[in-house]
Amino acid sequence: HASAALQQWAVGEAAWRDAYRFALVRNPWARQVSMFHFLLETASCAKPCGQRAAHCDKRLLPQAGPWLASVDLATPRFRAWIRDMAAAFPPGHPQQHLFGARFHGNERDAWYNASQISWMVDGRGAVLVDDIFKLEELQQHWPTLQRRVCSLRGVPYADGGLRKNPSMHAHYSRYYDDQTRRIVAQYMQADIDRFGYTFEQQQGGG
């Protein structure tokens, strides 16, 4: 979970320059819903308050429960979480990155924030990786990764490209109202502008 800048520092300039470096991004609104469910479905944050990992309380996550499986019950809790995080760590706050991710050591860099692009740049805003792929388009870029990453050669997308940390939830658009949709955009505007993401309404069922 180290940023590109932190990894560059850890391995050294020569090794970093010789390596193939890539990053993945995803729709910011989908990412927020997925993160909410994933954190509350995993062992660290699924435990009762007071017994779970400290970062769960730091990030103001509600007490996990069977309500997660219901869109109707999860939606108000998700919206409350978004509003609570925005109040506690608004854009510009020294710990605003908690809206999008934990510390992971990346907080040493002043430009690290809730956006995904902040993981991939240096202090001047220069991109430090060779390629940035959208998660939604990963399958079409799989051949490129197979050519560039030795361990992926011969690995079909069905075996290597599927989500390894899946969370169970409905289409992300069902969890938002206008206010929470705008809040996410305030934090992730750099990602929205750079990668052309839009808020997409669910098409059809499921």
Question: What mean pLDDT is reported for the chain?
Answer: 91
Give residue 164's pLDDT band: very low, low, confident or very high (50, 70, 90): low
d(CA 34, CA 58): 18
Average pLDDT over residues 167-192: 95
Question: In the prediction, which pLDDT does 67 show?
Answer: 96
Angle, helices 28-41 vs 71-88, to 10°: value is: 100
**Pseudo-torsion of CA 23, 39, 136, 83, nearest 10°?**
-100
Q: Which helix (H) or strand (E) holds 24?
A: strand 22-25
Phi, psi for residue 175 in degrees, rounded to 5: -95, -10
| Residue 97: pLDDT over 50 | yes
Q: Which pLDDT value is given to residue 165?
A: 57
Q: Of 80, 44, 93, which is closest to residue 64 (Cα–Cα)? A: 44
Give the pLDDT confidence score for residue 204 in this predicted structure.
Answer: 55
Please report the pLDDT score of residue 10 as a whole number.
93
Average pLDDT over residues 113-134: 95
Rounded Cα distance, 49 and 61, in Å = 9
pLDDT band of residue 109 (cuts 50, 70, 90) is: confident
Residue type, 151: S
**Residue appearing with tokens 């669910």:** 202
Per-residue pLDDT tens digits for 38-80: 999 886 899 888 889 999 999 999 999 999 999 999 999 999 9
Structure tokens at 185: 């955009």
- Quote the crossing angle between the two packed helices 28-41 and 178-195, to the nearest 10°: 120
Q: What mean pLDDT comes out for the span 17-44?
A: 93
Q: What is the DSSP string of 99-130?
A: GT---TTGGGSTT--SSSGGGSB-TT--B-SS
163, pLDDT greater than 80: no
